[in-house]
Amino acid sequence: MKLLITGGAGFVGSSLAISLKQNYPQYQIFALDNLKRRGSELSLARLKAAGIEFLHGDIRNKEDFDALPAVDTVIEASAEPSVLAGLDGTPDYLINTNLFGTVNCLNYALKHKANFIFLSTSRVYPIKTIETLNFEEADTRFMLTDDQPVPGVSSKGIAENFPLDGARSLYGTTKLASELLIQEYNEFYGLKTVINRCGVITGPWQMGKVDQGVMVLWIAKHYFEQKLAYIGYGGTGKQTRDMLHIADLYRLIDWELHHLDAVNGQILNAGGGQQSSASLQELTKICQEVTGKTIPITQVAENRAADIRLYITDNTNVTNLTGWKPELGIREIVTDIHDWLNENRAALEPILK
């Protein structure tokens, strides 16, 4: 099998590429990336050591696809992943990468009759609707209730039939627009596709920032003994997310790669779910226990743009279709990332500190 992974030097793309090559050494895997994100250059040696061919290119450029070899499957893992991207009034890079880049990927897949696995995001769900959901405030976190004003949500989390009307961030909009185009290519061009709406993905080799990769950011700030802040919702740190370890995402992509007919045309939520969720307050406690360090955390009551109080993925649909469910919990994720920081401190300190 020949595979092209876009965003192949990014956290998700490189992790998937290396895991696939380790498990299927006979596969030929190409990793395409423009190396724009800081830290992505660290992936090049890892990809080479794994036997993966790196291709320097940009999905925004149609010409870059002309030189690519034919493949059997495209895994579209490239993106400008920041929820705050474009909110400064310049959304061009975001839109050109996340929307028009996906169009170029689709046309390349169509040309070679390749299957298409797309990594979308839970951010396709509208902010205002999420913010009006019924919740309970516990001692350390916010929790969804079963009694809700809209379909597609319960105490288990948010499902695929959650209403899509309303604003969701420019980032979320580019991903939803890509989803719509993928469905058209599936229906009218016969392209075999699956869309995965991923929650917060995390794990080793993610270069965490304030606006994307918060799990690594939180652990790294503890590790390097720097400052953090609980921002928004009264500054209590009760805002809650589920976290999906990249190794758990890999298991799903591996299954889809080899059983695509079973999920062809599907849109599937994939996140950590209730079992792998934490509030910032709870995450802080685990970070303190794993790192042995306590750092100052300030409180900022005012909310940030495009933030949400609470998001948990309801994985019912994907589990019923594929049998997949995440296996790694929050403490295991924190421990794994902490071990990675220890092992690669010299390379990571200039980026994460």
pLDDT of residue 211 exceeding 80, the answer is no
At 81, give phi and psi (nearest 5°). Answer: -95, 5
- As a whole number, mean pLDDT of residues 197-211 equals 92
pLDDT per residue as tens digits for the range 273-325: 999 999 999 999 999 999 999 999 999 999 998 999 999 999 999 999 999 99
What is the predicted pLDDT for the residue at 283?
A: 98
pLDDT at residue 61 above 90?
A: yes
pLDDT at 107: 98
Quickly count: other Cβ atoms within 10 Å of residue 61's Cβ. 14
At residue 210 the predicted structure's pLDDT band, cuts being 50, 70 and 90, is: confident
Q: Kindly report the pTM of this predicted structure.
A: 0.97
Per-residue pLDDT tens over the stretch 18-46: 999 999 999 999 999 999 988 899 999 99
Q: Which sequence spans correspond to the domains of the chain?
A: 1-125+168-198
Q: Measured at the alpha carbon of residue 261, what is the angle toward residues 257 and 262, in degrees to the nearest 5?
A: 95
Q: What is the distance in angstroms between the CA of the first residue and the CA of the last residue of the chain?
A: 40
Could you tell me the pLDDT band of residue 240, with boundaries at 50, 70 and 90?
A: very high
Query: Over the stretch 73-84, which tens digit does the pLDDT of each residue have?
Result: 999 999 998 888
Instruction: At 266, give phi and psi (nearest 5°).
Output: -85, 155
**Helix residue ranges, H only, the chain:** 11-23, 43-50, 62-66, 92-95, 101-111, 127-131, 170-188, 214-223, 246-258, 260-263, 280-291, 316-322, 330-343, 345-352
CA distance 121 to 106: 18
Which of 1.10.3720.10, 3.30.9.10, 3.40.50.720, 3.40.630.90 is the CATH number of 1-125+168-198?
3.40.50.720
Region 208-216: what's the mean pLDDT?
85
Least Cα distance to 267 among 214, 204, 321 occurs for 321
Q: Tell me the average pLDDT of the chain.
A: 97
| Average pLDDT rounded to a whole number, residues 250-277 | 98
Would you state the pLDDT for residue 270? 98
The pLDDT of residue 255 is above 90? yes
Nearest to 248 by CA among 154, 162, 329, 136: 329
The C-alpha atoms of residue 215 and residue 42 are separated, in whole angstroms, by: 19
Residue-level pLDDT at 276? 98
With a cut of 90, say whether residue 206 has pLDDT above it.
Answer: yes
The reported pLDDT for the residue numbered 157 is 98
Written as one string, the DSSP assignment of 118-184 is: EEEEGGGS-HHHHHTS-EEE-SS-EEE-S--SSSSEETTEE-TTS---S---HHHHHHHHHHHHHHH
Quickly tell me which residue has 């979320």 as its tokens: 172
Q: What is the pLDDT of residue 212?
A: 79
